[in-house]
Amino acid sequence: MDMIRFEHPEWAILFLLIPLFFLVFILAGYFRRRALKRFARKEVFPYLSPLFSTNRRRVKFVLLMVVFALLTLAAMNPQTGSRMEEATLEGVDIVVALDVSRSMMAEDMSPNRLERAKLAVNRLLDQPGNNRFGLVVFAGTAHTRIPLTTDVRAAKMLLRPINTESAAVQGTAIEAAIDRALASFPEEDSAGKAIILVSDGESHDDNPAEAARRAKSQGVTIHTVGVGSREGAPVPAYTGGVQRGYLRDEEGNTVISRYDEEMLRQIADITGGVFRHGGETGMGLGEILESIRQMETETYETFIFTEYESRYHFFVVLAFCLLLIELLLSEKKNQWLRTLPWLNHQTQPENNRQK
């Protein structure tokens, strides 16, 4: 079943004029009849203009209203595009592992680390090519937010609402994030697989280096983007969406979060990937993307929607045909019909009475 959308739905406001036109038409008829009453009685009206047809006048008006509605629909430009086609594409499978732990709310990067990281992912999605993208979010645990897809628009929609509540357990389990990203790739042995880890690098109670070695054994390259500053910053504490100070440890001291550059560099080095700091020009993605472009691409098949096709011309053609009919349709009665015997038979008694 075809999906229908309107390219310019704002033009639908013109439909509100149709009831107004009908009101003007009715009032015009009322004032016309009122003006005729000044010259003759109502019974004499048919003799004053014997060739005038009220019904034809109404039909012509309705045709004009239909033409107006059709032209309004044409201005809205209905489009269809649900037809799917199977396409063979070549590209690289890229899974982004995004840190959504509370430490990512630190404001040593504007506006905070997490928003800066999401901006980096958005820029990554804007890159041209036939690459497939996936997204894993992690804190104390990791889960797949977006499976591998070529639908960049849908990926951006799912990325937008991500926040620190997107992970049920707090912490920074980088090893779990890498393992989850590895599980996102197709099971068959294929080339062109990369993970981009975006985090402040503060890992707790796991072994990211071991996970990086597992990735290397599977032919997966891990690139890392560090967000945060070496000096660190306090982590805001929120209650009901309102900041209520900063996180404190068991002794009541303000928790200072510092990004672990050494850890992120080590993960990238193990797999032959690139490490960059998110504060660099272009979020540090330039060299990472160049490295990905040089990777061996993978051929895969996917179903894609065809481009939406405009259908406004059907409404324009139909409106033109109805407008032509309206112009050819006279408000006068058809003289040929008046010569028919059955019509004369109906009018005969009236003629006799006049005699």
Assess whether 235 and 266 both reside in one domain: yes
- Residue 284 and residue 276 in contact, taking contact as beta carbons nearer than 8 Å: yes
Q: Look at residue 69 and give its three-state secondary structure.
A: helix
Assess whether 285 and 347 both reside in one domain: no
Reduce the secondary structure of 277-303 to three states and give it as a string. ECCCHHHHHHHHHHHHHCCCCEEEEEE
Taking the C-alpha atoms of residue 111 and residue 243, their distance in angstroms, rounded to an integer, is: 14
Q: Shortest CA distance to 225 belongs to which of 194, 182, 261?
A: 261
Question: What is the arithmetic mean of pLDDT over 307-311?
Answer: 77
What residues contact residue 351 under an 8 Å CB cut-off, 6+ apart?
none
Assess whether 19 and 32 both reside in one domain: yes
Provide the CATH number for the domain around residue 142: 3.40.50.410
Assess whether 77 and 91 both reside in one domain: no
- Residue 322 and residue 71 in contact, taking contact as beta carbons nearer than 8 Å: no
Assess whether 157 and 209 both reside in one domain: yes
User: The tokens of 218 are what?
Assistant: 């599977």
What residues contact residue 237 under an 8 Å CB cut-off, 6+ apart?
243, 244, 245, 246, 247
Looking at per-residue pLDDT, the higher value among 58 and 222 belongs to 222
Taking the C-alpha atoms of residue 102 and residue 240, their distance in angstroms, rounded to an integer, is: 15
- By mean pLDDT, which of 12-16, 111-115, 139-143, 342-346 is the weakest? 342-346
Assess whether 138 and 49 both reside in one domain: no
Domain span holding position 256 = 85-305
CA angle, 111 as apex, 107 and 117 as ends, to 5°? Answer: 90
Q: Are strands 84-91 and 93-99 parallel, antiparallel or unpaired?
A: unpaired
DSSP string, 102-127: GGGG-SSSSS-HHHHHHHHHHHHHTS
Assess whether 94 and 158 both reside in one domain: yes
Question: What is the arithmetic mean of pLDDT over 254-269?
Answer: 90
Question: What is the arithmetic mean of pLDDT over 308-336?
Answer: 83
Assess whether 256 and 114 both reside in one domain: yes
Beta-bridge partner residues of 300 = 89
State the total domains in the chain: 2
- Work out the pLDDT band at 83, boundaries 50, 70, 90: low
Assess whether 163 and 238 both reside in one domain: yes
Looking at per-residue pLDDT, the higher value among 259 and 354 belongs to 259
User: Of the residues 305, 322, 346, which one is the last residue of a structural domain?
Assistant: 305
Looking at per-residue pLDDT, the higher value among 317 and 293 belongs to 317
User: Of the residues 268, 289, 305, which one is the last residue of a structural domain?
Assistant: 305
CB atoms < 10 A from the CB of 242, how many?
6
Model pLDDT for residues 170-221, shown as the tens digit of each residue: 888 999 999 999 999 987 666 789 999 999 987 766 899 999 999 999 999 9
Assess whether 39 and 153 both reside in one domain: no
Assess whether 114 and 210 both reside in one domain: yes
User: Of the residues 305, 325, 343, which one is the last residue of a structural domain?
Assistant: 305
Assess whether 173 and 217 both reside in one domain: yes
pLDDT at 351: 45
